[in-house]
Amino acid sequence: MNFFRRLVCTARRRSPWLFHMNSGSCNGCDIELIASLSPRYDAEQLGVQLQGSPRHADILCVSGPVTRNAAGAIETVYKQVPCPKAVIAIGSCPATTNVFIDSPTLDGPLDRHIPVDVFVPGCPPRPDAIIRGIAQAAAIVAERRRTAEGSGCTTEVEA
Amino acid sequence: MTQTIALSASTDALLRLLVFPGLLFAVPCAWFLVWLERKAVARMQQRIGPPFMQPFYDFVKLMSKAWPRREELSGAIMSFWPLLAVASAAGAVGLLPVLPNSGGFAGDLILLLALLEMPSMCLVAAGFSSRSVFAEIGSVREAILSVSYNVVFLLALVSIAASQHSFRIEALAQSSASPLRWLGVAAILVCLPGKLHLNPFSLSNAEQEIYAGPLTEYMGPELALWELAHGLEWVAATGLVATLVVPHFGPAWLPPLLFVAAIAIIVLLLAFVAAATARLAIDTSVRFYSRCALVFAAIALVSALWIGGKL
Predicted confidence at residue B179, as pLDDT, reads 76
Residue A142 scores a pLDDT above 50: yes
Instruction: Find, in chain A, the residue whose alpha carbon is nearest to that of B35.
Output: A47
| Contacts of residue A111, Cβ cutoff 8 Å, sequence gap at least 6 | A89
Helix (H) or strand (E) holding A88: strand A86-90
Look at residue A120 and give its three-state secondary structure. Answer: strand
Q: Are A83 and A51 in contact (CB under 8 A)?
A: no
Going by their DSSP bridges, the two strands A59-63 and A118-120 should be labelled as unpaired
Q: Is the CB of A11 less than 8 angstroms away from the CB of B58?
A: yes
Please, which pLDDT band fits residue A141 given cuts at 50, 70 and 90? very high
Instruction: Spell out, as residue ranges, where chain B has pLDDT lower than 70.
Output: 1-7, 101-103, 177, 308-311
User: What does pTM read for this prediction?
Assistant: 0.91
Helices (H) and strands (E) in chain B, counts: 11, 0
pLDDT tens digits for range A6-30: 999 999 999 999 999 999 999 999 9
Instruction: Tell me which DSSP letter residue A46 carries.
Output: G
Distance CA(B281)–CA(B166), nearest Å, equals: 38
| Minimal C-alpha gap between B132 and chain A (Å) | 10
Cα R_g (chain A), whole angstroms: 15
Predicted confidence at residue B3, as pLDDT, reads 65
Nearest 10 degrees: CA dihedral of B241, B242, B247, B253?
-160
Half-sphere exposure in the Cβ direction for A122 (13 Å, CA): 15
Percent of chain B at pLDDT above 70? 95
Distance CA(A82)–CA(A59), nearest Å, equals: 10
Q: At what angle do helices B2-18 and B73-94 cross, to 10 degrees?
A: 110
Residue A145 scores a pLDDT above 80: no
| Contacts of residue B166, Cβ cutoff 8 Å, sequence gap at least 6 | B106, B172, B175
Is the minimum CB–CB distance between A128 and chain B shorter than 8 Å? no
Residue A158 scores a pLDDT above 60: no
Predicted confidence at residue A18, as pLDDT, reads 94
Q: Mutating which of B56, B60, B61, B132 best tests the A interface, going by the most A Cβ atoms within 10 A?
A: B61
Q: CATH number of A2-143: 3.20.20.150, 3.10.129.10, 3.40.309.10, 3.40.50.12280?
A: 3.40.50.12280
| Minimal C-alpha gap between B66 and chain A (Å) | 5
Instruction: Find, in chain A, the residue whose alpha carbon is nearest to that of B69.
Output: A157
Predicted confidence at residue B107, as pLDDT, reads 82
Please, which pLDDT band fits residue A159 given cuts at 50, 70 and 90? very low
Strands ordered across the beta sheet of A59-63: A49-50, A17-22, A59-63, A86-90, A118-120
pLDDT tens digits for range A30-71: 999 999 999 999 999 999 999 989 999 999 999 999 999 999
Is the minimum CB–CB distance between A82 and chain B shorter than 8 Å? yes
Predicted confidence at residue A33, as pLDDT, reads 94
Q: Are B232 and B89 in contact (CB under 8 A)?
A: yes
pLDDT tens digits for range B71-129: 788 788 888 999 999 999 998 998 888 777 666 778 888 999 999 999 999 999 999 99
Nearest to B73 by CA among A157, A156, A159: A159
Residues 9-68 of B with CB under 8 A from A: 38, 42, 45-51, 53-54, 56-61, 64-66, 68
Q: Is the CB of A159 less than 8 angstroms away from the CB of B208?
A: no
Residue A151 scores a pLDDT above 50: no
Instruction: Find, in chain B, the residue whose alpha carbon is nearest to that of A10.
Output: B57
Question: Would you give the end-to-end CA distance of chain A in angstroms?
Answer: 34
Predicted confidence at residue B5, as pLDDT, reads 67
Compute CA distances B266 → B29, B50, B239, B241, whole Å.
14, 20, 9, 8
pLDDT tens digits for range A95-109: 999 899 989 999 979
| Minimal C-alpha gap between A92 and chain B (Å) | 25
Nearest 10 degrees: CA dihedral of B159, B165, B168, B169?
-50
Residue A150 scores a pLDDT above 50: no
pLDDT tens digits for range A84-138: 899 999 999 999 998 999 899 999 799 999 999 999 999 999 999 999 999 999 9
Give domain limits for chain A: 2-143
